[in-house]
């Protein structure tokens, strides 16, 4: 049957490129656990999205809001604050937002912020969080199609394939680039 993987690399690259296009030069990334595949793919996407001439600034996290909060405290206290922070998931972004706000750092006025996943809470924080939406409905539709094919043709069920689930940027107020719209992520070469 088919396995489904989220386009972590493409989503992280697109978000970082969005922040670069919005004019931010110094963009920090709060990563997930060091040994986690999704985390590594998102770091790789972040580095690719930075492009030439920008220095990667990766801060340790573990996908929890607590680790995002600690990263936010470190960044707020830093002598050289980044212009933008891209967290590898929304929970860390929300923890970071809390720490920055607590320290009197205004988002997005002082530091822009973005996350990844588009969890339901992301639109209800202040400011609402710019993030990468994973197309869960599309994943479900494809899984159902693959099941129907397997039922119709049992021989095909033995063949395995890996499908990438598309992602899209959801631009909200936290990144300071008020498009209000959504930009579909395109792989280079599309």
| pLDDT digits 0-9 by tens, 125-173 | 999 999 999 887 777 888 888 888 888 887 766 667 778 888 999 999 9
Q: Distance between CA 144 and CA 140 in Å, rounded? A: 6
185 pLDDT band, cuts 50/70/90, is very low
DSSP secondary structure letter of residue 152: H
The model's pLDDT over 2-33, given as tens digits with 9 standing for 90+, comes to 677 889 999 999 999 999 999 999 999 999 99
pLDDT of 189 reads 34
User: Which of 5, 11, 49, 10 is CA-nearest to residue 28?
Assistant: 49
**Domains of the chain (ranges, CATH numbers):** 2-184 (3.40.50.2300)
Q: Distance between CA 117 and CA 8 in Å, rounded? A: 10
The model's pLDDT over 102-136, given as tens digits with 9 standing for 90+, comes to 999 999 999 999 999 999 999 999 999 999 998 87
Task: Look at the block and give the residue holding tokens 């600034």.
Answer: 57
The torsion defined by the Cα of 107, 113, 117 and 123, in degrees rounded to 10, comes to 20
Answer yes or no: is pLDDT of 39 > 90. yes
Q: 183 has which bridge partners?
A: 169
Burial 120-143 (b: 16+ CB within 10 A, else e): eebeebebebbbbbbbeeebeebb
| Number of Cβ within a 10 Å radius of residue 83 | 17
Q: What is the pTM of this model?
A: 0.84
């Amino acid at each position: 049957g088919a396995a489904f993987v989220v386009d972590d690399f493409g989503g992280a690259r697109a978000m970082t490129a969005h922040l670069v296009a919005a004019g931010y030069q110094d963009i920090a990334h709060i990563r997930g656990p060091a040994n986690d595949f999704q985390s590594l793919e998102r770091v790789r996407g972040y580095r690719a999205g930075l492009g030439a001439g920008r220095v990667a600034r990766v801060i340790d996290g573990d996908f929890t809001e607590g680790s995002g909060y600690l990263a936010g405290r470190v960044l707020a206290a830093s002598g050289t604050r980044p212009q933008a922070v891209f967290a590898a998931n929304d929970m860390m972004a929300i923890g970071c937002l809390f720490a920055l706000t607590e320290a009197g750092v205004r988002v997005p006025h002082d530091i822009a912020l973005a996350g990844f996943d588009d969890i339901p809470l992301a639109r209800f924080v202040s400011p609402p969080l710019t993030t990468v939406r994973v197309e869960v409905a599309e994943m479900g539709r494809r899984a159902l199609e693959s099941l129907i094919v397997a039922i119709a043709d049992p021989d095909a069920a033995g063949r395995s394939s890996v499908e990438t689930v598309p992602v899209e940027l959801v631009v909200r107020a936290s990144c300071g680039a008020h498009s209000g719209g959504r930009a579909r992520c395109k792989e280079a070469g599309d």
